[in-house]
Amino acid sequence: MLSFLRHYYSQGGDEIELGEKEKQKIETLHIPLLRRKWQILALQIVSTSSLLFLLMRMSDIYGKCSDNNLDTWCPSYEHTRGLMWLESNEGSLLIPDFLLGVNQTGTLSFLGPLLICVLGTIAFERFWASSLEFQTRIKQGIAAVFGLWIVIPFILSWIIATFRYGLHFPWNGNDSLNHIGELFSPLGLVLEIVFLSIVFAPILVGLVGIWGLSKRAINWSVGYYIIVIAFHAVLTFEPIVSEVDVGLKALPTQIGEGTMFGGLVSPLASSLLGIAILMLLFLETGTAAIGHMEYAASLPEESKRDPEYVRQFNNVVNSHLIQLVVVILMVSITTALALSFDDLMISIVGILEGTQWTGQVKESLELQMTYGKVISAGLFIIVVAGLRFVIPWQTVSGYIESGISKIRS
Protein backbone atom coordinates (compact mmCIF):
# COMPACT_ATOMS: atom_id res chain seq x y z
CA MET A 1 0.00 0.00 0.00
CA LEU A 2 2.80 2.41 0.92
CA SER A 3 4.66 1.61 -2.26
CA PHE A 4 1.50 2.32 -4.25
CA LEU A 5 1.08 5.72 -2.55
CA ARG A 6 4.73 6.59 -3.17
CA HIS A 7 4.33 5.65 -6.82
CA TYR A 8 1.07 7.66 -7.08
CA TYR A 9 2.47 10.84 -5.49
CA SER A 10 5.74 10.58 -7.37
CA GLN A 11 3.78 10.26 -10.59
CA GLY A 12 1.63 13.26 -9.65
CA GLY A 13 4.73 15.28 -8.82
CA ASP A 14 6.24 14.38 -12.17
CA GLU A 15 3.05 15.50 -13.88
CA ILE A 16 3.13 18.84 -12.02
CA GLU A 17 6.79 19.32 -12.89
CA LEU A 18 6.08 18.49 -16.53
CA GLY A 19 3.16 20.94 -16.48
CA GLU A 20 5.39 23.72 -15.18
CA LYS A 21 7.99 22.97 -17.82
CA GLU A 22 5.33 23.03 -20.53
CA LYS A 23 4.08 26.35 -19.19
CA GLN A 24 7.60 27.78 -19.29
CA LYS A 25 7.99 26.59 -22.83
CA ILE A 26 4.68 28.12 -23.90
CA GLU A 27 5.19 31.45 -22.06
CA THR A 28 7.51 33.69 -24.05
CA LEU A 29 8.13 37.42 -24.33
CA HIS A 30 6.75 37.84 -27.84
CA ILE A 31 4.35 40.76 -28.29
CA PRO A 32 1.25 38.71 -29.33
CA LEU A 33 1.56 36.64 -26.15
CA LEU A 34 2.36 39.63 -23.94
CA ARG A 35 -0.77 41.43 -25.08
CA ARG A 36 -2.79 38.58 -23.55
CA LYS A 37 -1.00 38.57 -20.19
CA TRP A 38 -3.28 39.60 -17.35
CA GLN A 39 -0.78 42.18 -16.03
CA ILE A 40 -0.59 44.03 -19.36
CA LEU A 41 -4.35 43.76 -19.82
CA ALA A 42 -4.88 45.10 -16.29
CA LEU A 43 -2.72 48.16 -17.03
CA GLN A 44 -4.56 48.82 -20.30
CA ILE A 45 -8.01 48.35 -18.74
CA VAL A 46 -7.16 50.67 -15.83
CA SER A 47 -5.84 53.25 -18.30
CA THR A 48 -9.02 52.99 -20.41
CA SER A 49 -11.27 53.27 -17.35
CA SER A 50 -9.35 56.32 -16.13
CA LEU A 51 -9.75 57.95 -19.53
CA LEU A 52 -13.52 57.38 -19.54
CA PHE A 53 -13.95 58.66 -15.98
CA LEU A 54 -11.79 61.65 -16.88
CA LEU A 55 -14.17 62.43 -19.76
CA MET A 56 -17.16 62.44 -17.41
CA ARG A 57 -15.47 64.53 -14.72
CA MET A 58 -14.21 67.07 -17.26
CA SER A 59 -17.69 67.34 -18.76
CA ASP A 60 -19.26 67.86 -15.33
CA ILE A 61 -16.84 70.60 -14.29
CA TYR A 62 -15.88 72.33 -17.55
CA GLY A 63 -18.96 71.58 -19.66
CA LYS A 64 -21.33 74.24 -18.32
CA CYS A 65 -22.27 77.65 -19.65
CA SER A 66 -22.97 80.68 -17.49
CA ASP A 67 -26.48 81.40 -16.26
CA ASN A 68 -26.91 84.07 -18.96
CA ASN A 69 -26.07 81.65 -21.79
CA LEU A 70 -28.04 78.54 -20.91
CA ASP A 71 -30.02 78.57 -24.17
CA THR A 72 -27.14 79.51 -26.48
CA TRP A 73 -23.88 77.93 -27.52
CA CYS A 74 -20.67 78.51 -25.60
CA PRO A 75 -17.20 76.95 -26.04
CA SER A 76 -17.58 74.57 -23.11
CA TYR A 77 -16.34 70.99 -22.91
CA GLU A 78 -19.71 69.55 -23.99
CA HIS A 79 -20.75 68.31 -27.43
CA THR A 80 -24.56 68.17 -27.56
CA ARG A 81 -25.08 71.93 -27.19
CA GLY A 82 -22.97 72.69 -30.28
CA LEU A 83 -24.61 69.93 -32.32
CA MET A 84 -28.10 71.14 -31.39
CA TRP A 85 -27.10 74.67 -32.40
CA LEU A 86 -25.84 73.30 -35.73
CA GLU A 87 -29.09 71.34 -36.21
CA SER A 88 -31.18 74.46 -35.57
CA ASN A 89 -29.26 76.31 -38.31
CA GLU A 90 -28.86 73.49 -40.84
CA GLY A 91 -32.23 71.82 -40.34
CA SER A 92 -30.95 68.26 -39.89
CA LEU A 93 -27.77 66.38 -39.09
CA LEU A 94 -26.12 63.83 -41.37
CA ILE A 95 -24.96 61.57 -38.53
CA PRO A 96 -27.87 59.90 -36.65
CA ASP A 97 -28.80 61.48 -33.34
CA PHE A 98 -28.26 58.29 -31.31
CA LEU A 99 -24.62 58.20 -32.46
CA LEU A 100 -24.10 61.87 -31.61
CA GLY A 101 -25.86 61.74 -28.24
CA VAL A 102 -28.21 64.56 -29.22
CA ASN A 103 -31.53 64.81 -27.31
CA GLN A 104 -30.06 62.63 -24.56
CA THR A 105 -28.82 63.56 -21.11
CA GLY A 106 -26.31 62.27 -18.63
CA THR A 107 -24.29 59.17 -19.40
CA LEU A 108 -26.56 58.24 -22.33
CA SER A 109 -25.23 61.21 -24.31
CA PHE A 110 -21.75 59.63 -24.23
CA LEU A 111 -22.69 56.12 -25.40
CA GLY A 112 -23.06 56.86 -29.12
CA PRO A 113 -19.86 58.93 -29.47
CA LEU A 114 -17.95 56.37 -27.39
CA LEU A 115 -19.11 53.66 -29.79
CA ILE A 116 -17.73 55.75 -32.66
CA CYS A 117 -14.43 56.10 -30.76
CA VAL A 118 -14.19 52.33 -30.21
CA LEU A 119 -14.90 51.60 -33.88
CA GLY A 120 -12.43 54.32 -34.87
CA THR A 121 -9.76 52.78 -32.61
CA ILE A 122 -10.23 49.37 -34.25
CA ALA A 123 -10.13 50.96 -37.70
CA PHE A 124 -6.92 52.89 -36.95
CA GLU A 125 -5.23 49.81 -35.52
CA ARG A 126 -6.15 47.75 -38.59
CA PHE A 127 -5.04 50.60 -40.83
CA TRP A 128 -1.59 50.85 -39.23
CA ALA A 129 -1.17 47.07 -39.24
CA SER A 130 -1.86 46.87 -43.00
CA SER A 131 0.68 47.25 -45.78
CA LEU A 132 1.66 50.61 -47.25
CA GLU A 133 -0.02 49.73 -50.52
CA PHE A 134 -3.31 49.01 -48.77
CA GLN A 135 -3.04 52.24 -46.77
CA THR A 136 -2.52 54.19 -49.98
CA ARG A 137 -5.61 52.58 -51.51
CA ILE A 138 -7.71 53.50 -48.47
CA LYS A 139 -6.54 57.13 -48.62
CA GLN A 140 -7.28 57.28 -52.33
CA GLY A 141 -10.71 55.70 -51.77
CA ILE A 142 -11.64 58.24 -49.07
CA ALA A 143 -10.47 61.13 -51.27
CA ALA A 144 -12.45 59.73 -54.21
CA VAL A 145 -15.63 59.38 -52.12
CA PHE A 146 -15.40 62.99 -50.91
CA GLY A 147 -14.65 64.19 -54.43
CA LEU A 148 -17.67 62.38 -55.85
CA TRP A 149 -19.81 63.65 -52.96
CA ILE A 150 -18.86 67.22 -53.90
CA VAL A 151 -19.11 66.94 -57.71
CA ILE A 152 -22.00 64.54 -58.41
CA PRO A 153 -24.81 66.42 -56.53
CA PHE A 154 -23.62 69.66 -58.12
CA ILE A 155 -23.67 68.21 -61.67
CA LEU A 156 -26.97 66.37 -61.21
CA SER A 157 -28.79 69.41 -59.82
CA TRP A 158 -27.41 71.57 -62.67
CA ILE A 159 -28.46 69.05 -65.34
CA ILE A 160 -31.94 68.60 -63.89
CA ALA A 161 -32.43 72.37 -63.62
CA THR A 162 -31.19 72.78 -67.21
CA PHE A 163 -33.87 70.41 -68.53
CA ARG A 164 -36.49 72.16 -66.42
CA TYR A 165 -35.54 75.85 -66.83
CA GLY A 166 -33.22 75.85 -69.79
CA LEU A 167 -29.47 76.40 -70.14
CA HIS A 168 -28.03 78.66 -67.44
CA PHE A 169 -24.92 79.23 -65.37
CA PRO A 170 -24.74 77.28 -62.06
CA TRP A 171 -24.45 80.55 -60.11
CA ASN A 172 -27.51 82.72 -60.17
CA GLY A 173 -29.51 85.07 -57.97
CA ASN A 174 -32.50 82.75 -58.23
CA ASP A 175 -32.33 79.98 -55.65
CA SER A 176 -33.71 77.37 -58.05
CA LEU A 177 -30.95 78.20 -60.56
CA ASN A 178 -28.09 78.49 -58.05
CA HIS A 179 -26.22 75.20 -57.54
CA ILE A 180 -23.01 76.42 -55.89
CA GLY A 181 -24.33 75.35 -52.49
CA GLU A 182 -24.18 71.71 -53.61
CA LEU A 183 -20.38 71.96 -53.65
CA PHE A 184 -20.41 72.53 -49.90
CA SER A 185 -22.67 69.58 -49.03
CA PRO A 186 -19.88 67.68 -47.17
CA LEU A 187 -19.26 70.77 -45.03
CA GLY A 188 -22.12 69.79 -42.72
CA LEU A 189 -20.46 66.46 -41.96
CA VAL A 190 -17.16 68.22 -41.31
CA LEU A 191 -18.80 70.62 -38.84
CA GLU A 192 -20.49 67.73 -37.02
CA ILE A 193 -17.16 65.95 -36.71
CA VAL A 194 -15.54 69.18 -35.45
CA PHE A 195 -18.14 69.68 -32.70
CA LEU A 196 -17.84 66.01 -31.77
CA SER A 197 -14.04 66.14 -31.78
CA ILE A 198 -13.91 69.01 -29.30
CA VAL A 199 -14.92 66.55 -26.60
CA PHE A 200 -14.05 63.11 -27.98
CA ALA A 201 -10.79 63.74 -29.85
CA PRO A 202 -8.69 62.99 -26.71
CA ILE A 203 -10.79 59.88 -26.10
CA LEU A 204 -10.20 58.51 -29.60
CA VAL A 205 -6.51 59.40 -29.57
CA GLY A 206 -6.12 58.03 -26.03
CA LEU A 207 -7.75 54.71 -26.94
CA VAL A 208 -5.54 54.50 -30.02
CA GLY A 209 -2.53 55.13 -27.79
CA ILE A 210 -3.52 52.51 -25.21
CA TRP A 211 -4.49 49.68 -27.52
CA GLY A 212 -2.40 50.74 -30.52
CA LEU A 213 0.73 51.05 -28.33
CA SER A 214 1.54 54.70 -29.03
CA LYS A 215 3.07 56.82 -26.26
CA ARG A 216 2.81 59.89 -28.46
CA ALA A 217 -0.97 59.51 -28.68
CA ILE A 218 -1.28 59.15 -24.89
CA ASN A 219 0.86 62.23 -24.29
CA TRP A 220 -1.18 64.16 -26.87
CA SER A 221 -4.41 63.24 -25.09
CA VAL A 222 -3.06 64.43 -21.72
CA GLY A 223 -1.76 67.62 -23.32
CA TYR A 224 -5.17 68.27 -24.87
CA TYR A 225 -6.86 68.09 -21.47
CA ILE A 226 -4.27 70.43 -19.95
CA ILE A 227 -4.90 72.92 -22.77
CA VAL A 228 -8.68 72.69 -22.20
CA ILE A 229 -8.20 73.44 -18.49
CA ALA A 230 -5.83 76.32 -19.27
CA PHE A 231 -8.20 77.87 -21.85
CA HIS A 232 -11.11 77.59 -19.44
CA ALA A 233 -9.08 79.33 -16.73
CA VAL A 234 -8.06 82.15 -19.10
CA LEU A 235 -11.53 82.65 -20.64
CA THR A 236 -13.21 82.77 -17.21
CA PHE A 237 -10.61 85.11 -15.65
CA GLU A 238 -12.49 88.18 -14.44
CA PRO A 239 -10.46 90.84 -16.33
CA ILE A 240 -10.90 88.79 -19.54
CA VAL A 241 -14.63 88.26 -18.96
CA SER A 242 -15.14 92.01 -18.48
CA GLU A 243 -13.73 92.58 -21.98
CA VAL A 244 -14.79 89.39 -23.85
CA ASP A 245 -17.50 87.18 -22.35
CA VAL A 246 -17.79 83.87 -24.24
CA GLY A 247 -20.44 82.52 -21.88
CA LEU A 248 -18.43 79.95 -19.92
CA LYS A 249 -19.33 79.23 -16.31
CA ALA A 250 -16.40 80.15 -14.09
CA LEU A 251 -15.27 77.98 -11.22
CA PRO A 252 -15.71 79.45 -7.73
CA THR A 253 -12.85 81.74 -6.76
CA GLN A 254 -12.89 80.38 -3.21
CA ILE A 255 -11.90 76.76 -2.69
CA GLY A 256 -14.11 76.48 0.40
CA GLU A 257 -13.75 74.79 3.75
CA GLY A 258 -12.42 71.25 3.95
CA THR A 259 -15.32 68.91 4.67
CA MET A 260 -14.11 65.70 3.01
CA PHE A 261 -11.47 63.11 3.96
CA GLY A 262 -11.19 64.25 7.54
CA GLY A 263 -11.46 67.95 6.70
CA LEU A 264 -8.46 67.94 4.36
CA VAL A 265 -10.15 69.03 1.12
CA SER A 266 -13.31 70.83 0.06
CA PRO A 267 -15.75 69.41 -2.52
CA LEU A 268 -14.34 71.67 -5.26
CA ALA A 269 -10.75 70.73 -4.41
CA SER A 270 -11.78 67.08 -4.33
CA SER A 271 -13.20 67.34 -7.87
CA LEU A 272 -10.07 69.01 -9.21
CA LEU A 273 -7.86 66.54 -7.36
CA GLY A 274 -9.88 63.69 -8.88
CA ILE A 275 -9.21 65.03 -12.39
CA ALA A 276 -5.48 65.25 -11.64
CA ILE A 277 -5.35 61.70 -10.24
CA LEU A 278 -7.31 60.28 -13.18
CA MET A 279 -5.00 62.06 -15.62
CA LEU A 280 -1.93 60.72 -13.81
CA LEU A 281 -3.38 57.20 -13.67
CA PHE A 282 -4.25 57.24 -17.37
CA LEU A 283 -0.78 58.48 -18.34
CA GLU A 284 1.14 56.15 -16.02
CA THR A 285 -0.71 52.91 -16.76
CA GLY A 286 -0.94 53.52 -20.50
CA THR A 287 2.76 54.31 -20.93
CA ALA A 288 3.78 51.53 -18.50
CA ALA A 289 2.09 48.84 -20.61
CA ILE A 290 3.82 50.16 -23.71
CA GLY A 291 7.18 50.46 -21.92
CA HIS A 292 7.11 46.86 -20.73
CA MET A 293 6.32 45.60 -24.21
CA GLU A 294 9.01 47.81 -25.74
CA TYR A 295 11.54 46.26 -23.36
CA ALA A 296 10.42 42.75 -24.32
CA ALA A 297 10.55 43.59 -28.03
CA SER A 298 14.14 44.85 -27.69
CA LEU A 299 15.38 41.51 -26.31
CA PRO A 300 17.16 39.01 -28.56
CA GLU A 301 15.10 36.12 -29.86
CA GLU A 302 16.85 33.61 -27.56
CA SER A 303 16.15 35.73 -24.49
CA LYS A 304 12.44 35.96 -25.29
CA ARG A 305 12.21 32.17 -24.90
CA ASP A 306 14.49 31.96 -21.86
CA PRO A 307 12.47 31.01 -18.72
CA GLU A 308 14.75 33.17 -16.55
CA TYR A 309 13.99 36.27 -18.61
CA VAL A 310 10.28 35.43 -18.51
CA ARG A 311 10.40 35.08 -14.71
CA GLN A 312 12.25 38.38 -14.31
CA PHE A 313 9.79 40.12 -16.62
CA ASN A 314 6.85 38.84 -14.56
CA ASN A 315 8.53 40.04 -11.35
CA VAL A 316 9.11 43.51 -12.80
CA VAL A 317 5.51 43.86 -14.01
CA ASN A 318 4.07 42.57 -10.72
CA SER A 319 6.28 44.98 -8.76
CA HIS A 320 5.15 47.82 -11.00
CA LEU A 321 1.49 47.08 -10.29
CA ILE A 322 2.09 47.18 -6.53
CA GLN A 323 4.18 50.35 -6.76
CA LEU A 324 1.50 51.96 -8.91
CA VAL A 325 -1.13 51.51 -6.20
CA VAL A 326 1.24 52.80 -3.50
CA VAL A 327 2.35 55.83 -5.54
CA ILE A 328 -1.20 56.86 -6.48
CA LEU A 329 -2.29 56.63 -2.83
CA MET A 330 0.74 58.60 -1.66
CA VAL A 331 0.22 61.28 -4.32
CA SER A 332 -3.45 61.63 -3.34
CA ILE A 333 -2.67 61.89 0.38
CA THR A 334 0.27 64.28 0.01
CA THR A 335 -1.68 66.53 -2.37
CA ALA A 336 -4.60 66.68 0.07
CA LEU A 337 -2.16 67.53 2.86
CA ALA A 338 -0.52 70.20 0.72
CA LEU A 339 -3.85 71.87 -0.03
CA SER A 340 -4.70 72.19 3.68
CA PHE A 341 -1.16 72.69 4.97
CA ASP A 342 -1.76 76.38 5.72
CA ASP A 343 -4.58 75.47 8.13
CA LEU A 344 -2.32 72.94 9.82
CA MET A 345 0.52 75.45 10.25
CA ILE A 346 -1.80 78.13 11.59
CA SER A 347 -3.38 75.66 14.04
CA ILE A 348 0.06 74.59 15.30
CA VAL A 349 1.16 78.20 15.76
CA GLY A 350 -2.13 79.01 17.51
CA ILE A 351 -1.65 76.14 19.94
CA LEU A 352 1.93 77.15 20.70
CA GLU A 353 1.32 80.90 21.05
CA GLY A 354 -2.38 81.16 21.81
CA THR A 355 -2.77 84.52 20.05
CA GLN A 356 -5.77 85.89 18.15
CA TRP A 357 -3.99 86.67 14.89
CA THR A 358 -4.00 83.00 13.91
CA GLY A 359 -7.81 82.96 13.74
CA GLN A 360 -7.87 86.17 11.73
CA VAL A 361 -5.36 84.82 9.23
CA LYS A 362 -7.23 81.52 8.97
CA GLU A 363 -10.46 83.36 8.13
CA SER A 364 -8.83 85.60 5.50
CA LEU A 365 -10.23 85.40 1.98
CA GLU A 366 -6.79 85.24 0.40
CA LEU A 367 -6.03 81.83 1.86
CA GLN A 368 -9.42 80.52 0.76
CA MET A 369 -8.84 81.51 -2.86
CA THR A 370 -6.92 79.60 -5.48
CA TYR A 371 -3.61 81.39 -5.00
CA GLY A 372 -3.95 80.81 -1.26
CA LYS A 373 -3.86 77.08 -1.94
CA VAL A 374 -0.81 77.63 -4.14
CA ILE A 375 0.86 79.29 -1.15
CA SER A 376 -0.19 76.33 1.01
CA ALA A 377 1.35 73.84 -1.46
CA GLY A 378 4.53 75.92 -1.61
CA LEU A 379 4.81 75.89 2.19
CA PHE A 380 4.32 72.13 2.18
CA ILE A 381 7.14 71.65 -0.35
CA ILE A 382 9.48 73.89 1.65
CA VAL A 383 8.77 72.03 4.91
CA VAL A 384 9.18 68.59 3.33
CA ALA A 385 12.43 69.70 1.67
CA GLY A 386 13.69 70.99 5.01
CA LEU A 387 12.76 67.78 6.81
CA ARG A 388 15.36 65.87 4.83
CA PHE A 389 17.94 67.28 7.25
CA VAL A 390 15.95 65.71 10.10
CA ILE A 391 14.31 62.60 8.62
CA PRO A 392 16.42 60.15 6.55
CA TRP A 393 14.04 59.81 3.60
CA GLN A 394 16.22 57.16 1.95
CA THR A 395 15.94 54.98 5.02
CA VAL A 396 12.17 55.50 5.10
CA SER A 397 11.88 54.59 1.42
CA GLY A 398 14.02 51.50 2.10
CA TYR A 399 11.60 50.37 4.81
CA ILE A 400 8.69 50.92 2.43
CA GLU A 401 10.33 48.87 -0.33
CA SER A 402 11.20 46.08 2.09
CA GLY A 403 7.59 46.07 3.30
CA ILE A 404 6.35 45.80 -0.27
CA SER A 405 8.71 42.88 -0.91
CA LYS A 406 7.43 41.14 2.25
CA ILE A 407 3.84 41.61 1.08
CA ARG A 408 4.73 40.10 -2.29
CA SER A 409 6.46 37.14 -0.68
Domain ranges of the chain: 29-328, 340-409
pLDDT at 98: 83
pLDDT at 289: 92
**Per-residue pLDDT tens digits for 210-269:** 998 899 999 999 999 999 988 888 888 777 777 777 778 877 766 666 666 666 677 777
pLDDT at 388: 74
pLDDT at 397: 76
pLDDT at 237: 78
pLDDT at 8: 37
pLDDT at 2: 37
pLDDT at 64: 82
Read off the pTM: 0.78
Between 68 and 308, the higher pLDDT residue:
308
Which amino acid type is present at position 69? N
Mean residue pLDDT of the chain comes to 78
Q: Where residue 20 falls among pLDDT bands split at 50, 70, 90?
A: very low
Between 287 and 178, the higher pLDDT residue:
287
Q: Please compute the mean of the pLDDT values over residues 270-289 and round it to a whole number.
A: 90
The least confident of 94-108, 300-314, 379-393 is: 379-393
Q: Where residue 208 falls among pLDDT bands split at 50, 70, 90?
A: very high
Residue 328 has pLDDT above 80, yes or no: yes
Between 304 and 54, the higher pLDDT residue:
54
pLDDT at 54: 93
pLDDT at 12: 46
pLDDT at 387: 73
Q: Please compute the mean of the pLDDT values over residues 57-71 and round it to a whole number.
A: 80
Residue 15 has pLDDT above 80, yes or no: no
pLDDT at 337: 75
pLDDT at 11: 46
pLDDT at 118: 92
**Per-residue pLDDT tens digits for 125-140:** 888 888 888 888 988 9
How large a percentage of the chain has pLDDT more than 70? 75
